[in-house]
Amino acid sequence: MSVAGRGRRFPEQATSIDRGGRALNILSIQSSVAYGHVGNSAAVFTLQRLGFEVWAVNTVALSNHPGHGGWRGHFATPASVAEIVRGLDDRGVLARCDAVLTGYLGDPGMGEVAIDAILRVRAANRDVRVCCDPVMGDAGRGFFVRPGIPEFFRERALAHADIVVPNAFELEFLAGRSCAGVEEALVAADIVRALGPGLVVVTGLAPGPGRIATLAVGADGAWIVDTPFVDGPKNGAGDLFSALFLGHALRTADTAAALAGAVSATHAMMGASAAAGSMELTLIAAQNLLVEPKFLFKAERLR
């Protein structure tokens, strides 16, 4: 089984170290906060804990997540982020980039910068894997990003992604149809796959009271992991899961195993954060759960 997009197959990795003994490198383009764990402030440590080198490029730099009721900081300009990517290119390191992870962009123009970065990496390493977390909204709140960003994800980003990780709300927008249940989500995921990505991983499905499910749909089949719902911190949970799934997908070509591993670690971290009464992920205090969750959920094959 392969998690790769567009029919490409990649060699299976047993660890985050390649056959030459070096750590795999991930370019992560998303937001950053000084306090808390969202965007790169969640993804970087998570991926490092899994054994990856991470090159963080921040699209925004805020004091904290806006969910706290207020924030200070600034949104980076597309030009400033493009300069950082060009600097990496100048050093010749993009040929050693094994994956690109994109998250919160902040500005529609940042999307074109992200695509340029992907194209630069692919020109240097055709085997790179691109994981796009199309951060734009969720059920109950609707869209919370600037105008133009949702359309960018649907009309531009999908064609450049190998893996896309929307929540149920975002999947509905990308597919242009409802996905109230698992069967509808399967249909919507197939629609999104036809737009480019080889693998669609959908979070936040509600298969029943007190349950939450995550679905992975690829060319090799479809799998679901159904777990008890944990009322833990909302901010950063999606960023954490996307990083975990990409990390596991780089370590194994088994989609079901990558899904089970990422869901299990996310569930464990949410539980630890809820038990601590924290509105932020307790990423540092409970870091061992990222690599050794107390319970491993199994992925059920749907087709």
What average pLDDT does this structure show over 54-76?
A: 94
Q: Is 6 left (phi over 0), alpha (psi -120 to 50) or beta?
A: left
Q: What is the per-residue pLDDT across 140-157, written as a single tens digit (0 to 9) for each?
A: 889 999 999 999 999 999
Distance CA 27, CA 3 (A): 18
Least confident of 27-36, 63-72, 104-113, 156-165: 63-72
| Percentage of residues of the chain with pLDDT beyond 90 | 88
Tokens of 59: 């699209």
Label the pairing between strands 137-138 and 73-75: unpaired
Give pLDDT, residue 15.
63
> Across-strand partners of 227?
212
Residue 6 has pLDDT above 60, yes or no: no
| Residue spans of beta strands (DSSP E) within 63-208 | 73-75, 99-102, 129-132, 137-138, 142-143, 163-164, 199-205
Is-contact 30 101, C-beta < 8 A? yes
C-alpha pair distances (Å), 281 with each of 39, 62, 116, 146, 302: 12, 17, 32, 25, 31
Distance CA 195, CA 17 (A): 32
Distance CA 18, CA 144 (A): 39
Give pLDDT, residue 20.
64
Q: What is the per-residue pLDDT across 225-278, written as a single tens digit (0 to 9) for each?
A: 999 999 999 899 999 999 999 999 999 999 999 999 999 999 999 999 999 999
Reduced DSSP (H G I as helix, E B as strand, rest coil) percent helix, strand, coil of the chain, to 5: 40, 20, 40
Distance CA 246, CA 239 (A): 11
Long-range contacts of 72-79 (CB under 8 A, 24+ apart): 73/33, 73/34, 75/106, 75/107, 76/106, 76/110, 77/107, 77/109, 78/107, 78/109, 78/110, 78/112, 78/113
Give pLDDT, residue 13.
47
Average pLDDT of the chain to the nearest whole number? 93
Residue 116 pLDDT level (bands cut at 50, 70, 90): very high
Residue 187 pLDDT level (bands cut at 50, 70, 90): very high
Give pLDDT, residue 100.
98
DSSP label at residue 259: H
| pTM given for the model | 0.93
Overall residue count recorded for the chain in this entry = 303
Count of beta carbons in the 10 Å neighbourhood of residue 230: 18
Residues 6+ apart with CB under 8 A from 32: 39, 40, 41, 56, 58, 59, 60, 61, 62
Give pLDDT, residue 19.
54
> Across-strand partners of 129?
99
Question: 11 vs 49, which has greater pLDDT?
Answer: 49
